[in-house]
Amino acid sequence: MTTGLITDDTAVATGVADVNVFDPHWWVDGPPHDLFARMRREAPVHWNPLGDGAGCWSLFGHAEITTVSHDSETFSSRRGGVFVNPDQVLNLDVIGNQLLYMDPPTHTRYRKILARVFTPAAVARMEAGIRARVTSIIDKVIEAGRADFVEDIAVPIPLLILMELMGARRRICPSSTTGPSASNNPSVRPNPMPPNRFSARWAPTSPNR
């Protein structure tokens, strides 16, 4: 059986120790479920080598993932971050107060507060406003006849909705600098991200330590 650039023979020929699940060639046609199944059988806890010589631990088994998820004392999001490189978005000391980076019981307390906003009844009350916002943004794209999907749709829609949920006044919500009219205007576009900004270059420990 052939799946894009990867065949079953290729997967078998690749030794478990050499598997880098972050390598794009495994993902040509979507998630590599056959590879995941093999890793669950042969290496549910796997030291994953990265292209730059570093590495990280990858978990494939349900039991292993559950154990780690419930042990925030050992596997701390606050101390170790949630990415291969803990500082790849912002310095961990700066971004550590975000919900994603919190450990229980702080995470639990904040999650309970947010959960009240996202009950089925609460979300249903927001539907009309969200639908109107999305429709407006898509109408602007249609009228312009062109769009950068990320800048004109994927970024402004959740950003505007989140700002409204936080009670931000409409006049400070980004609008004039988003949308098709801004896509090709260098004066309103951010500086491009350096190509290696999200490179994974950190490993918490060596498998031999």
Q: In terms of Cα–Cα distance, which of 179, 183, 188 is closest to 142?
A: 179
pLDDT of residue 44: 95
pLDDT of residue 89: 74
- Alpha-carbon distance of 53 to 48, in angstroms, equals 10
Contact 116, 122 (CB under 8 A): yes
Tokens, residue 27: 């993902």
pLDDT of residue 88: 72
Query: 3-class SS at 2?
Result: strand
Residue 47 is inside which H or E element, if any?
Answer: strand 45-49
- CA 135 to the chain's CA centroid: 25
- The helix-helix angle for 156-165 and 120-144 (nearest 10°) equals 140
Pairing mode of beta strands 55-59, 6-7: unpaired
Q: What is the pLDDT of residues 2-42, one digit of tens each?
A: 333 344 445 455 688 889 999 999 999 999 999 999 999 99
Q: What is the pLDDT of residues 116-170, one digit of tens each?
A: 888 899 889 889 989 999 999 999 999 999 999 999 999 999 988 888 777 775 5
pLDDT of residue 203: 35
Identify residue 188 by its one-letter amino acid code: V
Q: What is the pLDDT of residues 52-111, one digit of tens each?
A: 888 889 999 999 999 999 999 999 988 888 888 777 778 888 888 888 889 999 999 999
Report the percentage of the chain scoring pLDDT > 70: 74
